[in-house]
């Protein structure tokens, strides 16, 4: 048994099956005398429900998932070139495919004996959007061993699907043609107000993204703490079960010993009565003999 084999087996299981199976693998490694492997297995994290759905897609719908994630490169290219129409078309395609993949993951979960609610499917869509925006996350999703729920934050293809392309400046013709009157120059006060508003909105976006990142970090920490607590609870339950079995066995031995003691006491009492009767008979016999002797 290698760590890679254990990881591959564990991350295909439902989240509620993960901890007992991991603990069994730890016990097996300890029984085989491989303490390092046991420690490595014990450190494996149980996946969140949404991460498990992403793992199902990677393992059972790998080609479709690769096709979806390939859109990430196209979105990044369109973003770099500020190609608004292409971005909008790719974004619409991305949203359709992400929704379809989430529905497919729900079907796979049902086949595996679990049900995925709407909130979990939305979390899965967040993971897929993050994978489209970040190649590192995409690699995590492709691995089929994702443990956390990820939401993309920051500027990028997911955050700016509708960028308006810039227009190239036309060269001034040699012979100007009549055209519309030039628009009056923007009022400096209005321009300053607009710039202030833009700066405030940028600050608001930055603060919101910082809050989002902090909340995601807290969520990941709390999820990890929950998984550790569940592992400790499962281990404690096993200890309690072992103690209960030992207590029942001790009680059975005590009941058997008590019964044996009662039986021995009864036999001892009967033997004492028989000994007393025999002693009395012997005493009478000696007395009778003494009467006849000269």
pLDDT in tens, 230-247: 655 655 666 566 666 777
User: Among 140, 163, 186, which residue terminates a domain?
Assistant: 163
Give phi and psi for 287, each to the nearest 5.
-65, -45
Pair (143, 53) in one structural domain: yes
In a 10 Å sphere around its CB, with 0-12 CB exposed, 13-18 middle and 19+ buried, how is residue 56 labelled? buried
Residue-level pLDDT at 167: 32
Give the 3-state secondary structure of residue 188.
helix
**Residue 195 lies inside a defined structural domain of this protein:** no
Whether residue 110 is found in the same domain as residue 120: yes
Mean confidence (pLDDT) of the chain: 77
pLDDT per residue over 66-122, tens digit each?
Answer: 888 888 777 766 666 666 676 677 777 778 889 998 999 999 999 989 888 999 999
Domain check: are 28 and 121 in the same one? no
Give per-residue pLDDT as tens, 269-290.
888 888 888 889 988 888 888 8
Angle at 272 between CA 267 and CA 274, to 5 degrees: 95
Any domain includes 124: yes
Task: Tell whether 70 and 152 lie within a shared domain.
Answer: yes
Average pLDDT on 190-219 reads 66
Q: Write the DSSP symbol of residue 157.
A: T
> Does residue 187 form part of some domain?
no
Higher pLDDT, 197 or 274: 274
Half-sphere exposure of 256 (CA within 13 A, CB side): 6
Residues 251 and 154 in one domain: no
In a domain, 193, yes or no: no
Question: If we measure between CA atoms, which residue out of 83, 217, 98, 93 comes closest to residue 160?
Answer: 83
Q: Tell me if 185 is assigned to some domain.
A: no
pLDDT number for residue 294: 73
The structure's pTM equals: 0.49
Percentage of the chain beyond pLDDT 90 is 32
Number of domains, the chain:
3
* Inside any domain, residue 188: no
CB 54 within 8 A of CB 126: no
Question: Residue 194: is its pLDDT beyond 80?
Answer: no
Q: Distance between CA 259 and CA 271 in Å, rounded? A: 18
Residues 21 and 41 in one domain: yes
Can you give the pLDDT at residue 173? 38
Residue 283's CB: how many other CB atoms inside 10 A?
10
Q: Residue 214: pLDDT above 60?
A: no
Evaluate whether residue 229 is within a structural domain.
Answer: no
Domain of 25, in residue numbers? 1-46
Name the domain boundary from 163, 186, 220. 163
Q: Is residue 92 located within the same domain as residue 123? A: yes
Q: How many whole angstroms separate alpha carbon 50 and alpha carbon 43?
A: 20
Domain boundary, last residue among 14, 31, 46:
46
Segment 142-191, tens digit of pLDDT? 999 999 988 875 443 333 333 333 333 333 334 444 444 444 566 788 77
**Same-domain status, 86 and 7:** no
Whether 85 is in a domain gets the answer yes
3-class state of residue 154 by DSSP: coil
* 104 and 148, same domain (yes or no): yes
């Amino acid at each position: 048994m290698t760590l890679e084999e254990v990881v591959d087996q564990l991350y295909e299981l439902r989240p509620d099956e993960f901890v007992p199976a991991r603990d069994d693998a730890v016990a097996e490694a300890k029984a085989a005398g491989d303490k390092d492997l046991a420690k490595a297995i014990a450190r494996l994290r149980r996946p969140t429900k949404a991460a498990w759905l992403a793992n199902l897609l990677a393992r059972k719908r790998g080609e479709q998932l690769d096709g979806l994630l390939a859109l990430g490169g196209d979105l990044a290219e369109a973003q770099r070139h500020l190609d608004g129409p292409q971005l909008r078309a790719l974004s619409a395609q991305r949203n359709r495919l992400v929704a379809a993949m989430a529905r497919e993951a729900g079907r796979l979960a049902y086949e595996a004996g679990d049900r995925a609610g709407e909130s979990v499917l939305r979390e899965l869509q967040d993971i897929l959007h993050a994978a489209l925006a970040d190649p590192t996350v995409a690699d995590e999703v492709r691995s089929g061993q994702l443990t956390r729920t990820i939401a993309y934050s920051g500027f990028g293809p997911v955050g700016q699907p509708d960028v308006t392309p810039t227009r190239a400046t036309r060269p001034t013709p040699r012979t100007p043609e009549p055209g519309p009157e030039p628009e009056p120059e923007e009022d400096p006060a209005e321009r300053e107000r607009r710039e202030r508003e833009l700066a405030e909105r940028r600050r608001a976006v930055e603060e919101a993204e910082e809050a989002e990142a902090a909340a995601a970090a807290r969520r990941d920490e709390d999820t990890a703490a929950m998984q550790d607590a569940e592992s400790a609870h499962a281990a404690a339950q096993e200890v309690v079960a072992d103690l209960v079995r030992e207590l029942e066995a001790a009680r059975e031995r005590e009941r058997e010993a008590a019964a044996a003691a009662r039986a021995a006491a009864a036999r001892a009492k009967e033997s004492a009565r028989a000994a007393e009767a025999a002693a009395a008979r012997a005493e009478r016999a000696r007395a009778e003999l003494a009467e006849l002797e000269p």
